[in-house]
Chain A
């Protein structure tokens, strides 16, 4: 409460302090009552399972019999004895490192094109957003499978030019990049946010830049990009977190195996396999907590880096 009082925004108006505080206690009571279902929900359905998984990560738990305390054994096995775990890390980091910047660049590019005063903007915006709506779905992953399989449409097309293409989704050399392409294609959500951000940039700045003799490229570099950095930052963090948790594309396209030869073994897919196929829920819980740490650390690093490249319009330099 002390911190709330110290914040001028939340300070009660002068001269009415005492009387208001009596009313607010009663109102708070009602407010808490109305909040109770939500608080119960978050305690029982979210916080409870989260803490339970922390406990389970320190046990041997096979789903059916009671967990047996194992200390840090799961973590030790994870870091020192499990080669597939490192493969899952490698696959996931490669996926994040490629898909996040490429998807943001693509989304920004499309947003810039759509921002040029096109007629029927709403229509195009909806059409380009569509893959994001459907993208996480099983149907799209299955469609991707049909497109990039050995006898899929892509190879049929290549065959017209005498090229006998590989099986893009089932060759360890290409499989992960096919999934990255699928991720880039789902650029709709960051695109819509970029589009909203572009609309916020005042026209005067472009006019002033034009008076100074700036061309389109210069305007983009010196006006658009700096003023868009808060939006880029927001999209970056959201995509980063999402990409670390990618599951569906690999699960569907590889028939749940993370194959071929573990080339699309996403972190979450391996976690799922350990938990539900191999009945090692304690181990899977440990993996989940390490993933939380990884996402927390990378997001923290992103926030720390923000001060060097994110410019907010109301900041004075």
Chain B
């Protein structure tokens, strides 16, 4: 064998192989000049949202045979890690979902491209919800197109209230009243059932709690908007509820993942109320046979002022990778999803997502499902007296808040220590 293959022969073979490899790179690109293969990475809140997103992308591909859109969708937490890895390797999807915190992170690092040149033509955001546009803007530039309008809400199982013979609280109510209702529900429907799920590790209700005290989680200039005692009061609120039985103990609550409705107590028949965002509502309702409604979070404390503190914003916006060679094509895909009647119908109908544009919301209210209508109505209430927008936080803060809350729930930290732990972890990232 050693004689059969001479060194020169091997060299020739190597040159031929390398040449072949180069040729094979040439051939498809020559015939693919008018073709585009676009990777679309994103996070979805429910199976319904995934189904509708894929449907609208397929409709676009049917109209544009040269374009292939490769969907790469997953849950929010899995998505953030995946995107970070891909972006670091210079291989980010051409277009991808961001939320307000990710947008800030990626805009300042140059991963996403400014979209100002595409507004107002072909992307006209004139009737888009202001909170959504603010959530897609960083340092005065638009970096993403808001896909949806979302807001915080208590998803509430009406049947539990009826079974317990307890009245639903009025829309404007206090944090103390919420705690009392939760405890009453547990007393009526327990054991192994609780009035409310523990939201002590959740950023948005914490922000609204702080705003009810005249503070906020973050300020527009990326600083904390609260003192340690204020956050300690938040953790003490949930510890008090745990002690009184209004929310599940720490080990039961730890089973629920914040971005998977199927693991929640509300879906698993362990709780009557879950504090979350409106974009999960359709996903929750699809998994529960009882009728669910959206209820406002508390807006003040006993003896204090009652003021609307809920903001609507974009939970999911689409950004464009700064190195994508297909920017114009991506803008056209976004245009189809947001402004083409066929695209709008496919993208939003029964997806649980509510359009950021008021025209889109009106259309959805007329033609959408019962769950869609409930979300639109809920958001309309918030548009009448909008609170200041949601300010960007820091990546990883959900984990920091949750760990501190668990520390209190499992008796490892006092509320004050939990607040200090959160501050010490989040501060270096501001």
Q: Spell out A's residues near B (CB within 8 Å).
A: 26-27, 29-30, 33, 62-65, 149-151, 166-167, 169-172, 255-257, 259-262, 272-273, 276-279, 281
Contacts and interface: CB of A to CB of B under 8 A. Distances in A.
A277 B254 contact: no
Given A29-B7, A151-B268, A277 B399 contact: yes
A171 B7 contact: no
B77 A259 contact: no
Given A27-B2, A167-B254, A260-B251, 8 more contacts: A63-B87, A170-B254, A255-B263, A259-B403, A260-B409, A261-B250, A277-B395, A279-B84
Interface string B66-88: 00000000000110110011011
Interface of B: 2, 5, 7, 10, 77-78, 80-81, 84-85, 87-88, 105, 109-111, 250-255, 257, 260, 263, 268, 270, 395-396, 399, 402-403, 406-407, 409-410, 412, 429
A262 B84 CA distance: 23
Contact of A170 (B110, B252, B270): B252
Contacts of B85: 276
B395 A170 contact: no
A277 B396 contact: yes
B396 A257 contact: no
A109 B306 CA distance: 68
A171 B111 CA distance: 39
B396 A255 contact: no
11 contacts: A30-B5, A33-B7, A64-B110, A151-B270, A167-B255, A260-B250, A260-B251, A261-B410, A276-B84, A278-B395, A279-B395
Contacts of A30: 2, 5, 7, 10
B251 A171 contact: yes
A26 B406 contact: no
A65 B109 contact: yes
B111 A257 contact: no
Contact of A172 (B84, B253, B395, B410): B410
Contact of B406 (A33, A62, A64, A260): A260
B88 A63 contact: yes
B81 A167 contact: no
Nearest to B268: A151
B109 A62 contact: yes
Given A65-B109, A276-B84, A261 B395 contact: no
Nearest to B81: A276
Q: Which residue among A27, A171, A260 has the maximum number of chain B CB atoms within 10 Å of its CB?
A: A260
A277 B80 contact: yes
Contact of B251 (A150, A257, A276, A278): A150
A26 B399 contact: no
A135 to B, nearest CB: 21
Nearest to B407: A261
B247 to A, nearest CB: 14
A260 B84 CA distance: 25
Contacts of B253: 170
B410 A273 contact: no
A200 B225 CA distance: 71
Given A63-B88, A273-B399, A259 B254 contact: yes
B10 A281 contact: no
B87 A150 contact: no
Contacts of B260: 255
Contacts of B402: 257, 259
